[in-house]
A = this chain, B = another copy of it.
């Protein structure tokens, strides 16, 4: 059994790692780490784990961790992993960071995250964990930068038509909609039920840190410069991300041409489901699962392509993809422990 530690086990993506790893046939939850709530039981914070994971939360003690686990997940807010990962990497542990600390180059990180980046050595080492697009490099990685929730949905939806030359990348619009769990479990005014329920609005207009991440990996995986307009919206639901993507067509094609190209790109990738023409995914249809569902539409009237992609932000957008990357890293089948059927309704 693969011995696992989770730093930040008390947050939502930490708890989602616990949910998924509790039933993973090859992994063993060895350490649940939470500096702030060390010494308490996980079930004190999450009673739904009663009789399933009866473990205590431990402090962040690097030497002890290094002796007990082989793989460490960082399910921490941005700004934490960059300080800790280097010493674990030096000790030979494998690390998967779910935060944004290793996804951008140093300069862009400084600009969009408003803080100092991780050391260059580790930035150079970090492999971007977009599983379906980067599996070969992920398998060899020591440090994986797990993609952001919006970039996962946006890139899986957008990369095929960019790679295939179907669209012009000079004016791409990505309109993102997210459930509230993406904001984590720390109480704040903006995440109160009373503020979010029966309400929809945009946030971080023109300034969301997932913008440069999407542009960077369009360049990395498709070789094209792209200037995207990305606007995230907060939707009154707990889980789910939907990205609605608009771009001008670069050549005359039909919806079916584009669909077939997606199917070719994602052939054999179990977690990507391309919808039949005329059908578009909604977030509930991937709920609590690791699927990314994609629908495409060639709008002949306007000469544009519309792509809609849906994921569960806590699974494919965070903890599920992290485990998918773990599977790749340790030579397991990509979907080991991840074959959940979406919960619907």
Binding site for B on A (CB under 8 A): 12, 15, 19, 22-23, 46-52, 171, 173, 175, 177, 179-181, 183, 185, 187-189, 191-203, 205-206, 227-229, 231, 233, 235-240, 242, 244, 246, 248, 270, 273, 275, 279-288, 293, 295, 297, 299, 301-304, 306, 308, 310, 339-345
Which residues of B lie under 8 Å from residue A304 when comparing CB positions?
171, 229
A343–B343 CB distance below 8 A: yes
Q: Return 25 A-B CB contacts under 8 Å, by A number.
A: A47-B293, A48-B285, A48-B342, A51-B273, A171-B171, A171-B248, A173-B175, A175-B244, A181-B194, A185-B189, A191-B193, A192-B192, A193-B197, A194-B345, A197-B197, A198-B283, A198-B284, A199-B282, A201-B242, A202-B280, A227-B301, A229-B306, A233-B242, A233-B244, A238-B345
Which residues of B lie under 8 Å from residue A50 when comparing CB positions?
273, 275, 293
Bound CA–CA A342/B238 (angstroms): 15
- Number of identical monomers bound together in the oligomeric complex: 4
Closest to A305 in B: B229
A236–B286 CB distance below 8 A: no
Bound CA–CA A303/B206 (angstroms): 11
Which residues of B lie under 8 Å from residue A195 when comparing CB positions?
193, 284, 345
Minimal beta-carbon separation of A117 from chain B (angstroms): 20
Closest to A284 in B: B199
Closest to A53 in B: B341
